[in-house]
Amino acid sequence: MLRRTARKRKAKGQEIALPRNATTRAEILTTGYQTQTSMSRPSLLLGPTSATASQQSTASADTHTVSSHTYIPDNNIPMQNADGSFQMFGPNSRYLPCSNSTRIYDCHFRPLVTSLIESSIAPSTLQIYQRGQALFYEFRSLYGLMNTWPIPLCELLSFIAYLFKKELSHSTINCYVTGLGFFSKANNYEDVTQKFVVRKLLEGIKRSRPKKNDLRLPITRDMLKSIIFSLACVCKTRYELSLFKAAFSLAFHGLFRVGELVVTNSLQGHTLQISDIHIVSGLLQVCITSSKTDQLGKGSNIWIYPQSDLNICPVNLVSEFIKLRPPVLGPLFCHFDGSPLSRYQFVTLLKNAIDLSGIDKTRYSSHSFRIGAATTLSMDGVSDSEIMRLGRWSSNAYKGYIRI
Q: CATH number, domain at 114?
A: 1.10.150.130
Q: Are residues 24 and 159 in the same domain?
A: no
In a domain, 54, yes or no: yes
pLDDT for 37: 31
Looking at the structure, tell me whether residues 58 and 157 fall in a common domain.
Answer: yes
Q: Within this chain, do residues 1 and 101 fall inside the same structural domain, yes or no? A: no
Residue 38 lies in a domain: no
Based on the number of CB atoms within 10 Å of its own CB, is 266 exposed (0-12), middle (13-18) or buried (19 or more)?
exposed
Count structural domains, the chain.
3
Q: Do 128 and 171 belong together in one domain?
A: yes
2 and 97 both lie in a single domain: no
3-class SS at 263?
A: strand
Residue 36 lies in a domain: no
In a domain, 312, yes or no: yes
Number of alpha helices (DSSP H) and beta strands (DSSP E) in the chain: 15, 6
- pLDDT number for residue 34: 35
Say which residues have a Cβ less than 8 Å from residue 394's Cβ, sequence separation at least 6.
293, 388
Q: Are residues 227 and 353 in the same domain?
A: yes
H/E run at residue 94: strand 94-96
Are 157 and 187 members of one domain? yes
16 and 54 belong to one structural domain: no
Please say which residue of 145, 175, 208 terminates a domain. 208
How many Cα atoms sit within 13 Å of 20 on the Cβ side? 13
- Tell me whether residue 40 is in a domain: no
**Angle at CA of residue 393, ends 388 and 394, nearest 5°:** 110
Asked whether residue 172 falls in the same domain as residue 267, the answer is no
pLDDT of residue 9: 47
User: Measured between alpha carbons, how far is 297 from 178 in angstroms, rounded to an integer?
Assistant: 23
**Cα–Cα nearest to 33, from 183, 159, 143, 151:** 151
Residues 17 and 148 in one domain: no
- For 363, the domain range is 221-401
**Judgement on whether residues 260 and 391 belong to the same structural domain of the protein:** yes
Is residue 39 in a domain?
no
Facing residues of 340 across strands?
A: 334
Greatest extent of the chain over all pairs of C-alpha atoms, in Å? 95
Task: Provide the residue-wise pLDDT of the chain in tens; the chain has 404 residues.
Answer: 444 454 444 444 444 333 333 333 333 333 333 333 333 222 223 223 333 433 433 333 333 333 333 333 444 444 555 455 555 444 444 444 545 777 887 788 888 888 888 878 877 788 899 999 999 999 999 999 998 889 999 999 999 999 999 999 899 999 999 999 999 998 889 999 999 999 999 999 998 877 777 778 999 999 999 999 999 999 999 999 999 999 999 999 999 988 888 987 755 567 889 999 999 988 999 888 766 655 666 767 889 999 999 999 999 999 999 999 999 999 999 999 999 999 999 999 999 999 998 888 999 999 999 999 999 999 989 898 888 888 888 888 888 888 87
Cβ-based burial of 375 (10 A; exposed 0-12, middle 13-18, buried ≥19): buried
Within a domain: 352: yes
pTM reported for the whole predicted model: 0.59
Residue 213 lies in a domain: no
Q: What is the pLDDT of residue 143?
A: 95
Looking at residue 195, its pLDDT comes to: 95
> What is the pLDDT, as a whole number, of residue 283?
92
Last residue of a domain, one of 173, 208, 243: 208
What is residue 58's three-state secondary structure?
coil
Strand 300-304's sheet: what is its strand order?
A: 277-280, 283-288, 300-304
78 alpha carbon, distance to own chain's centre? 20
CA distance 147 to 117: 23
Residue 122 confidence (pLDDT): 77
Q: Is 90 helix (H, G, I), strand (E, B) or coil?
A: coil
CATH number at residue 319: 1.10.443.10
Residues 331 and 389 in one domain: yes
Task: Give how far Cα 259 sits from Cα of 31, 214, 267, 309, 343, Å.
Answer: 44, 19, 9, 27, 7
